[in-house]
Structure 1
Amino acid sequence: MSGIGLFGLLGSGNLGNDASLLAMLGHLRAAHPHARIDALCGGPDQVRATFGLEATALYRTTEFTTASGVRSAVAKAVAKLGELVRTAAWVRRHDVVIVPGMGVLEATLPLRPWGFPYSLFVLCLAGRLFGTPVALVSVGAGPIRQPGVRWFVVRAARLATYRSYRDTGSRDALAALGVDVRADRVYPDLAFALPGPDAPGGTGVVGVGVMAYRGGPGDRAHADRIHDDYLARLIELVRGLTGDGRAVRLLTGDRMDLAVAHAVVAALPDAPVSAANASTVDELLAELAGVDVVVASRYHNVLCALGLGRPVVSLGYAAKNAALMDTMGLPGFSHSIRDFDVDLVRAQVADLCRRAQEVSAALLVAAKYQRQLLDEQFAALSAMVAS
């Protein structure tokens, strides 16, 4: 066997993406202990250090320059051509390539066509050209309004050998973009397969997940105002929670979120508020295990908390959060990150704190069922890898 390749924006500071990678690695190393596994990814140094994988850089630094003019345009074009050549050569060395989870078919946050959408298209095209199956496993998808992003995403999806989605909304969204999804399946997000630490609860602490939120793809002109409005509302929420007699632990899901956590702490110097700085999935899970109730926006902060049996109030920036909360039996606890009612969220936190034991037991049952569904998908993937 030439090996199994893992592809994506892995090791780039987003713990949700790394959670998907960690879950997939756990399966592959158990089911295929002799397989050679490596990655083509955004953060190869981090992937090598954290996951013990051989890793190749997906991008060169010149691909992210923002200068304008003919010389810059030529440099970027050459960089993209180089990416195509590198990706094709990497794909050719593998028996199968897996894209482990992540929202690779969605554009809920600002995204440029020649960034990851192009990279995914090149990957799937190379897979077709060289006969290497490319599997998009438990991925997220959504409506895409930018024509360039939509063009690359739709064609990448059509070229993939295997597709599954982390919720029905993702499959429906891809169908609406014109992709034939009749043979595709819906399975839970890969992060449900992660083994979590013991989480007995009873700490009296509320975890509040912060996010460097600046709106969606159509909000670039108003990004600063959107961020300032969100930060002001977040500070008001944390002030209210501490006023209710609760200690607050600020949680991040991406390295860019840390500045937001520091801003909240600075705004409330006399309140019982502290900021975590989890840089790995295991550290994030340990932080979540140390709180009783979670209020969060990043999808995998919400998911990992639910998987540990932690009651959650979601302040979502996309439909995927609400779909996840519905699946786990907390449909009334989803709100929009843009205009959430601070008093309502405080009341729901108080309610979940009172019912923590009951809600936690139900969440753990639901999470076990999600893991059983993932075992079914892992069996199908193992058959593909072995063929």
Structure 2
Amino acid sequence: MSTAGTSRPPRIAIFGLLGSGNLGNHGSLDAMLRFLRASHPDAEISCVCSGPEEIERQYGIPSTAMTWYQAHGPGRSRLTTVVRKMFGKAADLFRMPRLLRRYDVVIVPGMGALETTLELNPWGWPYALFLMCVSGRLSGARIALVSVGANVARERSIRWLYTGAARLATYRSFRDDYSRDSMRVMGLDVSQDEVYPDLAFALPAPVPPEPSLRRRKTMALGLMEYHGTNADRGRSAEIYAEYEAKIVEFARWLVDDGYRVRLVTGDPADEVVVAAVVDDLRRTRPELVDSRLVREPAESLGELMSQLAEADLVVASRYHNVQAALRLSKPTISVSYANKNDILMEEMRLAAFRQSIRTLSVPRLIEQFRALEARASRLEPAMRAKNAENGVLLGRQYAVLSRTLLAAGPKVRASRH
């Protein structure tokens, strides 16, 4: 059905793991909201997410829980909680279609929407994404997976749910070639799908502090509660303990060498690592910790970027900690937990400044840090050029979304782009 001549603005739902405090996911939401509000100011925007109360508090957007269980919460005992979870999965079969009847367009904005790089339950996000795509298409909504990340899922159930969800999307784009190729390996026809940068590259860079106000030798250290992937569940505690010990060792070296260290995170779960670093330095370097350690929690990716703007160098693990630093053209080392980190570093011509989080070597990290510091001024021009290119590419994608999905009007049975 044509939408020409109609006046009703589109009703848009933004769908995802939003409201749980993950700054990267919120950064993707921020970027999408900036686009929608600038280019489609009359659109009716809602959020279907994992933390609706938090999204309403931060953004003032009408929000609904993604699943029945998230809306009603756990029971009073372990048994009743299990029963409620099981009931919720069945209830969602009816709840999700009723919910999505309200919307013309459902957008999954960036994020690792098709990834398994961390521990993941197939009955959690993968099931919710699949059910949303089925329900949305049955109701006539247009489904958009925009600049999403992906990798080859090893678990058969997750692979089936992810590929099934992606096949039902009206529009798909990926944030790198690796993500698109991963979906191809899993059997999805991606011949019509484009690659665009991560949505967070569209966020404006904060105004850098005046040179006279910047403290010398300030670095940002991004921490992550890392336990491995689904394949590492038997060793998750050991993997985390090894990482924590190494990052604490590196933090000691930084303060001993005179650096002012700003601790940053990307998820509330990372606070356990912050506590480990702070406690260790208070015990082992009590005379240095107050003057050389800074910790100010950020509530958004924008706030994190403002903190990173004060740093001369960045060492980080979480994808959007690394991405935010590169968005600011900051010389950065990635302690990578997934290929997506390495891809970012390669695109910014920083491939020499990365390590795997699983085989992290502190002596090598110190060597890389010294080399990065020496070459910083020569590396920044290439990063600035890449950021300008990313902005142009994301502008093109926004034009495609406006043309193919967001023209005002009621639902249509949209075909694949």
- Same fold (TM > 0.5): yes
Matches within 5 A, 1:1-387: 1-59=9-67, 60-61=69-70, 74-200=83-209, 203=215, 204-269=217-282, 270=285, 271=288, 272-383=292-403, 384-386=405-407
SS in 2 for 1:304: helix
Deviation of 1:18 after TM superposition, in Å, equals: 0.2
Residues 6 and 40, structure 1, Cα contact 8 Å, conserved in 2: yes
Task: Name the larger-Rg structure.
Answer: 2
SS in 1 for 2:371: helix
Given the superposition, is the C-alpha separation of residues 178 and 63 from structure 1 closer, same or farther in structure 2, using an over 3 Å criterion? farther
Q: After the TM superposition, which of the residue ranges 3-12 and 272-281 deviates more from structure 2?
A: 272-281
One-letter code aligned to 1:141: A
Residues 63 and 79, structure 1, Cα contact 8 Å, conserved in 2: no
Paired with 1:65 and 1:135, the residues of 2 have a C-alpha distance of 34
Residues 248 and 273, structure 1, Cα contact 8 Å, conserved in 2: yes
Q: Deviation per CA, 1:117-150: give whole Å up to 9, x if none.
A: 0000011101221111100000000011112211
Deviation of 1:282 after TM superposition, in Å, equals: 2.2
Paired with 1:360 and 1:64, the residues of 2 have a C-alpha distance of 49
Paired with 1:354 and 1:58, the residues of 2 have a C-alpha distance of 48
Residues 265 and 274, structure 1, Cα contact 8 Å, conserved in 2: no
Paired with 1:64 and 1:370, the residues of 2 have a C-alpha distance of 43
Q: Deviation per CA, 1:100-133: give whole Å up to 9, x if none.
A: 0010111010101110000000111012211111
Q: Deviation per CA, 1:253-272: give whole Å up to 9, x if none.
A: 00111121111011112242
One-letter code aligned to 2:183: L
- State the aligned residue count: 386
Deviation of 1:180 after TM superposition, in Å, equals: 0.5
Paired with 1:8 and 1:108, the residues of 2 have a C-alpha distance of 17
Indicate the RMSD between aligned Cα atoms, in angstroms.
1.8
Could you tell me which residue of structure 1 aligns to residue 411 of structure 2?
none
Paired with 2:201 and 2:353, the residues of 1 have a C-alpha distance of 20
Deviation of 1:73 after TM superposition, in Å, equals: 5.4
Paired with 1:66 and 1:180, the residues of 2 have a C-alpha distance of 46
Residues 121 and 156, structure 1, Cα contact 8 Å, conserved in 2: yes
Q: Deviation per CA, 1:127-178: give whole Å up to 9, x if none.
A: 2211111000000000111122112111001111111000000000000001
Could you tell me which residue of structure 1 aligns to residue 4 of structure 2?
none
Residues 109 and 216, structure 1, Cα contact 8 Å, conserved in 2: yes
Deviation of 1:34 after TM superposition, in Å, equals: 0.7
Q: After the TM superposition, which of the residue ranges 176-185 and 52-61 deviates more from structure 2?
A: 52-61
Deviation of 1:90 after TM superposition, in Å, equals: 2.3
One-letter code aligned to 2:226: Y
Paired with 1:348 and 1:315, the residues of 2 have a C-alpha distance of 11
User: Could you list the runs of 5+ residues in structure 1 that have no partner in the other structure?
Assistant: none
Paired with 1:153 and 1:365, the residues of 2 have a C-alpha distance of 34
Deviation of 1:72 after TM superposition, in Å, equals: 6.0
Paired with 2:164 and 2:73, the residues of 1 have a C-alpha distance of 22
Aligned-residue identity in percent: 45
One-letter code aligned to 1:261: V
SS in 2 for 1:268: helix
One-letter code aligned to 1:51: Y
One-letter code aligned to 2:15: F
Deviation of 1:219 after TM superposition, in Å, equals: 1.1
User: Could you list the runs of 5+ residues in structure 2 that have no partner in the other structure?
Assistant: 1-8, 409-417
Residues 225 and 270, structure 2, Cα contact 8 Å, conserved in 1: yes
